[in-house]
Structure 1
Amino acid sequence: MAKSMGMNLASGLQGMLKDGHNSYEGVDEAIMRNINAAKELAAIVRTSLGPNGMNKLVVNHLDKTIVTSDGATIVQELEVMHPAAKMVVLASQMQEQEAGDGTSLVVTLTGELLKLAADLLREGLHTAEILEGYRAAYMKTQEILPSLVCHTVADVRDPKQLAFAIKTVIGSKQYGFEDALSPFVAEACLAVMPPAPAKAMLAVENVRVCKLLGGSTADSHVVRGMVVQRDSQGLVKRAENAKVAVFACGLEMSSTETKGTVLIRTGEELMSYNKGEEKVVEDAMKSIADAGTKVIVAGGTVSDMCMHFIEKYEMMVIKVLSKWELRRICNAVHATALVRMGAPTPDEMGDCALVEVREVGLRKVTVFSQDDDDSRIATIVLRASTQSLLNDLERAVDDSVACVRGLCRDPRFVPGGGATEMELAHQIFKHGESQTGLDQYAIKKFAEALEVVPRILSETSGQDAEKVLATLRTAHANGEAKMGVDVDDDSVADKSGEGVVDLMSTKESALRLAVDAAVTVLRVDQIIMSKQAGGPKPRAPKGDDE
């Protein structure tokens, strides 16, 4: 039977799989290859960790240049192909979805865990013993973390406490802008939270960011409502206490699906034909105006004839081509998007306290601002001198908004500046020394891996990393659990009182995902890659060969 199928039983894997496949197995070929791939990815991201983290200049496949120190953006734009490194990328993406911050920590810690696991493998430990030690150390971190809580937000709706809590998140991305931006983020988050009797919660998509080039970061401000980066179409530029009608379609005469021919013999017939079309459009615009509409938001093209009658009835019209932006405007003004050109019902119309066109810098924007306290949308208008800085500020704002969402669920914070990682390393190392099995070596390596955070913080701030780590080890051995790296004074200090704190749920999520990614990579003992689909590569042009 095997002979009839053309399979050579003696050829093993080569005879089972299609020609052109690749297979790697064993410690050196499979495990070490995966570890090296993850280490290379971590080496790229690790220098971007912390307030003095370095920027990466990435040119993506669309030839777009991105300059950022945000770990999630870096790993997303790199287009990683190695399957083991992809696992680390997926872990960082999951951290971005769950916590919104700590992506660089996930990648860096995963790379360090795998790097130290490679040392244990070379010393003769089996993979199962390393995995057992890593799991035991991780479980110990879950026991220790609640005891390290140094700050709790008592009232989530207090703007000062909220601004204090998110300063570290902004400072870790854009150091120096945390004092300027944190009040704006706190104000925007409080504007979209439900009123006080209800439980404090936040939908991050309700806090929008509008980036306007020019000015300084101090010129940033918050708008209760929506900001559209587009001028109005007509001459009306302002409307107060306006009824808003939102149309998901364009304002123009709809054409039929079948082609038709109109035979016009005289000038009177031509005039009557045009007047008939004008009458239909005028009746539609008049009915919209009679319903009390002052502002029209169109999701498509506004024809010249419609524009003429909109001006006649003194209505303001804004064209918004993005369906997502149109949906957010409906959310901001409490309106329903219509798919027909006609008068909206009172339930379908929205209300807005003020709709006006403002000139910010050299750009005209339309602002939908609300005065009521239950506005569903708030927009942070960011100003900066360069587009790259604007993009990085937006990422910092997104992370801080995600932090507010997290503290609504769990308002506990742990010391920042590497103090939490250093205390975890100290206690886990002591735990490892009390063990008797071979997994004690993996537990100690787990503790050593946690020290990568204060090491990187000291390196990126220009300090002697070995000296700083030695000082921190001594301080934590003496019970000073809040001592971390002081990036300003070239020393170690308790910075938690100054607002350098990290959300505990973010730290828990980062540790869990980093350990999961490292364990998943270590459990792979064989790599099998099928032949790549597709035919032969196209030949190069003749001019290239000459």
Structure 2
Amino acid sequence: MGFNIQPYGIQSMLKEGHKHLIGLNEAVLKNIDACKQLSTITRTSLGPNGMNKMVINHLDKLFVTNDAATIVNELEVQHPAAKVLVLAGKAQQEEIGDGANLTISFAGELLQGAEELIRMGLHPSEIISGYTKAINKTVQILDELVEDGSENMDVHDKEQVLSRMKATVASKQFGQEHTICSLVADACIQVCPKNPANFNVDNVRVAKLLGGGLHNSTVVRGMVLKSDVIGTIKQAEKAKVVVFAGGVDTSATETKGTVLIHTAEQLENYSKTEEAKVEELIKVVADSGAKVIVSGGSVAEMALHFCERYKLMVLKISSKFELRRFCRTTGFVAMLKLGQPNPDDLGYVDSVSVEEIGGVRVIIVKNEEGGNSVATVVLRGSTDSILDDLERAVDDGVNTYKVFSNVLDMLISLKLLIIRLAKMIGCKKLANKFNLRMIRAIVFLYINVKDFSFKETGLDQYAIAKFAESFEMIPRTLAENAGLNAMEIISSLYAEHASGNAKVGIDLEEGVCKDVSTLSIWDLHVTKFFALKYVADAACTILRVDQVII
């Protein structure tokens, strides 16, 4: 006999094939373990000495990089708890453009500390309470580390921009930061408007061309298009420009009709009428004073013939985004269809020319006098992977400049309206001159948050202490990535700070403590502020989960 046993409890509520994980062992600790595995992947890539990861995505595209944002984007993380860390890293990358690795690695360290506390008998709610108090205290301490007057900087002064940008770029391309920063600073200063708060990251473009080396890279005031012109005219100087978004062709009607042609003369006259119509349209464009036609669509053979006759240079830009940038560069509003443009509204370029760089034909559109709303960094390198990594370093530098510019950008944080100043944590890190990032600040935060935990009387004091200990992860990881003894380095740091020498960092090349106060090394306050906030929010979100239902 077969008994038809009816499901009971949660099995009767959910459909067949579901999964239900509940309790500390099944839900909380497994979630923490998944997040630890993700942070282990990114941790070895932290800092300038970080190792590269080789990731091949579902399209068989190869990524060789130490950029955490790119790594986690291409990993296609499936675990729901680990996805929370990925989202925190993405938020950091979109908000600041740097610090994604710090966010993911530090969150993994916090969750590992939480796991130890749970095994000791603490409830997750007590850990969350302690972490919340610790992050609020950390943000207060972080403000004390800001160098006085560091928010007062001239964003149009290249030397000031270079000194504040180097640390960010060095974390991606150590040893080449000066060259990259010089290129990025030139490009950003060129496109920075009179009101720096209106600086647009999209106005700094990157063109990657294989061949040569980084020393061959340049900055162009204008655009670099990786294509060739249509036609034989390859150069134009001080030219008026007209842009047609719909293409350079006669518009076809939607109606259908039949034309009866009885004689050869009628056939000849019919084709001549079409030619005359196209010639008339091209002639009115030439008569308006334009020397360059840019098409957003197809260019008809007959139209091209008459463009050649009237000495008009023809460019084709298929991407609508590139077309918009071209319009910004030239100061022209794209026309929808071929027709007579207003001579007063024509765009202007100093020069348009076709050049061959590394075997690739490119169109260089320069606009140094008529305007400089778009600048392009032309990067040269031996492989696609190197060029991609250089582009990420440039992107970090541009986003850092954006933070300098948005000095009075208002935002809500910690339930208070604060002014996000481009505050710099100065002289806080040395190590390869840029390696052990914010070391003095890390030790300072550890000591102060640890002291704060001793003043608490509840069980959450253990969580606050564990939060403070998690700061050790940064110097320990960077020292390990540099091949040094992490315990010796951390011990020497604590010894120096205990003796009252609070302005000490580690030079990883020599492996000794040094006074960093005399070095002009800067770190963005807002990067650390948002990273710590995202880390605490992500960790507390994961610890609040007690059931997983799939």
In structure 2, the partner of 1:541 is: none
73, 79, 82: which one pairs with 1:82? 79
CA distance in 1, matches of 2:176, 2:243: 37
In the superposition, the TM-score normalised over structure 2's length comes to 0.91
Three-state SS of the structure 2 residue aligned to 1:372 is coil
Per-residue deviation at 1:373?
7.8
Matched residue of 1:91: which SS? helix
Pick from 365, 369, 390 the counterpart of residue 366 of structure 2.
369
Would you say the 8 A contact 2:146–2:423 is kept in 1? yes
For the pair 1:57 / 2:54, whether they are aligned, the reply is yes
Question: How many residues are matched?
Answer: 521
Deviation readout 1:483-517 (Å, 9 max, x if unpaired): 33323222333446544432000110000001100
Is 1:501 paired with 2:522? Answer: yes
User: What SS does structure 1 have at the residue aligned with 2:266?
Assistant: helix
Alignment of 1:22-421 (within 5 A): 22-150=19-147, 152=150, 154-195=153-194, 198-372=195-369, 374-408=371-405, 409=407, 410-414=421-425, 415-416=428-429, 417-418=436-437, 419=439, 420-421=441-442
Q: Which of residues 446, 468, 471 in structure 2 aligns to 1:447?
A: 468
- Superposed, 1:444-523 pairs within 5 Å as 444-495=465-516, 497-523=518-544
Counterpart contact for 1:191–1:374, Cα < 8 Å: no
Deviation at 1:259, TM superposition (A): 4.3
Alpha-carbon separation, structure 2, partners of 1:498 and 1:317: 53
In percent, how many aligned pairs have the same letter? Answer: 47
Please tell me whether the aligned partners of residues 332 and 375 of structure 1 are also in contact (alpha carbons under 8 angstroms). Answer: yes
Question: In structure 1, the residue corresponding to 2:171 is in which secondary structure?
Answer: helix
Q: Is the 8 A contact 2:350 2:370 kept in 1?
A: no
Counterparts of 1:514 and 1:463 in 2: how far apart (Å)? 27
SS at match of 2:523: strand
Q: Label 1:496 to 1:71 Cα distance change in 2 as closer, same or farther (>3 A).
A: farther
Q: 2:457 is matched with which residue: 427, 433, 436?
A: 436
Tell me the distance in 2 between the aligned counterparts of 1:421 and 1:255: 68
The answer on 1:423 being equivalent to 2:422 is no
Other structure's SS at 1:173 match: coil
Given the two structures, how large is their TM-score scaled by the length of structure 1?
Answer: 0.92
Structure 2 unaligned segments of length 5 or more: list them.
Answer: 408-420, 430-435
Taking only aligned residues, the RMSD between alpha carbons, in angstroms, comes to: 1.8
Distance in 2 of aligned mates of 1:116 and 1:171: 30
Moved more, 348-357 or 163-172: 348-357
**Is 1:19 equivalent to 2:16 in the alignment?**
yes
Amino acid at match of 1:466: M
**Map of 1:534 onto structure 2:** none
The alpha carbon displacement at 1:165 in A equals 0.9
Query: What is the CA–CA distance in structure 2 between the aligned matches of 1:373 and 1:437, rounded to whole Å?
Result: 66
> What is the identity, as a one-letter code, of the residue corresponding to 1:183?
S
Contact in 2 for aligned 1:407/1:503 (Cα 8 Å): no
Amino acid at match of 1:343: Q
Following superposition, the deviation at residue 330 of structure 1 comes to: 0.5
- Work out the CA distance in 2 between the residues paired with 1:91 and 1:233: 46
Residue 11 of structure 1 aligns to a residue whose secondary structure is coil
Measure how far apart 1:176 and its partner are: 1.3
Residues of 2 paired with 1:16 and 1:345: CA distance?
69
> Does the 8 A contact of 2:348 with 2:370 survive in 1?
no
Amino acid at match of 1:284: L
Higher alpha-carbon deviation: 392-401 or 362-371 = 362-371
Task: Report the residue type matching 2:171 in the other structure.
Answer: S
Q: Assess if the C-alpha contact under 8 Å between 1:130 and 1:439 holds in 2.
A: yes
Q: Distance in 1 between matches of 2:523 and 2:259?
A: 72
8 Å CA contact 2:233, 2:312 repeated in 1: yes
Contact 2:168 2:397 in 1 (8 A): yes
Amino acid of the residue matched to residue 178 of structure 1? E
In 1, Cα distance between the equivalents of 2:273 and 2:252?
Answer: 15
